[in-house]
Chain A
Amino acid sequence: DTGVSQDPRHKITKRGQNVTFRCDPISEHNRLYWYRQTLGQGPEFLTYFQNEAQLEKSRLLSDRFSAERPKGSFSTLEIQRTEQGDSAMYLCASSLTVMNTEAFFGQGTRLTVV
C-alpha cells in the first residue's frame, strides 16, 4: 500500500485561472476528505465523501470550489477563477468506514496564485 497520493505536489497559477487537483486514497478506504491548510494554521475542513457520495461540505466552501469522486475511488478538487486568497496547501485524507478510526493524509498540493 502506497498511502494517499496527491497530484500535483505544487501548482502555480495566475489569478482567474482554473485548477484541478487529484487525490488517490488508500485502496480499501471508503471515506475521503479534503482539507485546506494555510501557514501557521491547522487543517480546515472542506468536504467529505463516503464512496462516491459527497455527504458533507463546509459552509466556508465558496461556489468556485467543486469536488467529485465519480467511482468512489480517486477524487478531484477544482477551483474556478482562482484568487490570491486561495493560495494554500490542499490536503486529502482517507479512512476506513469504521467508528473512531484515524484518517491518513497525503502530502498535499501546494497552490500559489500569482
Chain B
Amino acid sequence: GNSVTQMEGPVTLSEEAFLTINCTYTATGYPSLFWYVQYPGEGLQLLLKATKADDKGSNKGFEATYRKETTSFHLEKGSVQVSDSAVYFCALTTNTGNQFYFGTGTSLTVIP
C-alpha cells in the first residue's frame, strides 16, 4: 500500500540553525512527493514537490531530494527563521491522483 512516515516532533531550533525533517515513504508505482506547510490557523500550503527520482524540489530556502533507493524525501533548510515556525507535512500521490497520503506532521518552533 501507500504510506508516509515522518519524523516525530516537536522540533525546537534557534534562529539560523540547520533544519532536517525526515520523511520516508512506501508506494506502489511511481509516486510524486510533496512537502506541505501549515501555519497556525491556516490551511495547508504547498511548500515544494518532486515528481521523479533524483528531482530536487526547492522553495523559500527549503529543499528536498526524491531518493528512490532509500524511499526518502527529507526536508532541509540551511538557516531557519522565526517565521518558519509551523507544522510540516510530507505527502505522496500516485499516478492516478485519486488520493494524497500524508504523514502525521512535524511541528517546528524557531526561537530567536
Q: Using a CB–CB distance below 8 Å, which chain A residues touch chain B?
A: 4, 31, 33, 35, 40-45, 48, 50, 55-56, 91, 93, 95, 97-108
Q: Are B43 and A108 in contact (CB under 8 A)?
A: yes
| 28 cross-chain CB contacts under 8 A | A31-B97, A33-B99, A33-B100, A41-B105, A42-B91, A42-B102, A42-B103, A43-B44, A43-B89, A43-B102, A45-B100, A45-B101, A48-B99, A55-B98, A56-B99, A93-B44, A98-B97, A99-B95, A100-B32, A100-B93, A101-B97, A102-B34, A102-B49, A103-B100, A104-B46, A105-B44, A105-B45, A107-B43
Q: Are A42 and B104 in contact (CB under 8 A)?
A: yes
Q: B21 to chain A: closest CB distance in Å?
A: 13
One of A35, A97, A107 near B97 (C-beta < 8 A): A97
Q: Are B98 and A106 in contact (CB under 8 A)?
A: no
Q: Which residue of A lies closest to B4 (CB)?
A: A42
Instruction: Answer yes or no: B42 CB below 8 A from chain A CBs.
Output: yes
